[in-house]
Amino acid sequence: MTTALPELWTDWCSVAGVPEKRVDEATLSLFSRQASPSRAVLARLRRLIAPEHAVAPAWPRTHRDDPESLRRLVRCTTVMVQDPSTHWVLRLRLRRMLFAAVLIAPPSHGGLGLDRARALALRPDGMRRLRPRIGVADEPRSCPACAVWSWLDVIGTNNGWSHGAVRALGHRRDEEGWEHRHLLPDASPDWLLCVGMLPAVDRWGWVDIYSSMHPSSLSTVISATDLMLKCGPTPVPAPAPEPRPIGPRREISREEEEKILARADELTVRVTEILREYG
């Protein structure tokens, strides 16, 4: 390791009894909590783990070679978002998780390939510039661009309206249909006035309007992303091939329904436990 290390890091290592060359995510998380370093210092240290030329260094390694992983994550998480039993605060956090996933996923998957530091430092002007690069999918429930639209609706509403409006939005599920949300005008353009694009969401559903979440919290969100992807595809009822104005909807068998609800319940419990640890 020939790159000069930040002085704050070397001082902390001396006090904490940690070898200076031990630059990994677990140690950086501890360093973050105890020394409160600036984002510039953290970014400099993380470049020692994942150089700037690395593609999507924050995306879970085991899924970097799966070009469908981001769309699969969106589809899997959408099942939980659409579940009426999902608590509204968890629904907000799931939307934030998908937004974070789009920021860090490889461009070949439909994401932006940002590292942790750049994702946390992203501001509205940067989001507006990068937004056209975000991938789309054939169906809205798997579409990364639609997932981004939904989260911008949340932070825009939080910035320009009341907590009650955010709560109402948290209770709202996506309308089922054939039109992609990202093709519609932004529902809450006040997101352009936000400070942080990845704010903390506390247990009562308050969304921080002044800053982005802590780096260790983003690591927790990425862990939840990895868990969702490891659980594999979630069974969902296949939609009809085209909308029909008249006629019965496709019926779901009892066995199919039980599989859907069992998987949704399992994912909800496991992801809730992860996201509950941090805002």
Tell me the pLDDT tens digit for each residue of 83-135: 999 999 999 999 999 999 999 999 989 999 999 999 999 999 999 999 999 99
Distance in angstroms (rounded) separating the CA atoms of residues 257 and 217: 34
Q: What are phi and psi of 14, to 5 degrees?
A: -65, -45
What is the pTM assigned to this prediction?
Answer: 0.67
**DSSP strand E in 183-228: where?**
none
Quick one: DSSP state of residue 193?
A: G
Helix (H) or strand (E) holding 264: helix 254-275
Question: How far is the C-alpha of 194 from the C-alpha of 191, rounded, in Å?
Answer: 5
Residue 266 in this model has a pLDDT that exceeds 80: no
Tokens 């940067």, residue? Answer: 126
Q: Are 187 and 240 in contact (CB under 8 A)?
A: no
Residue 201: strand pairing partners? 207
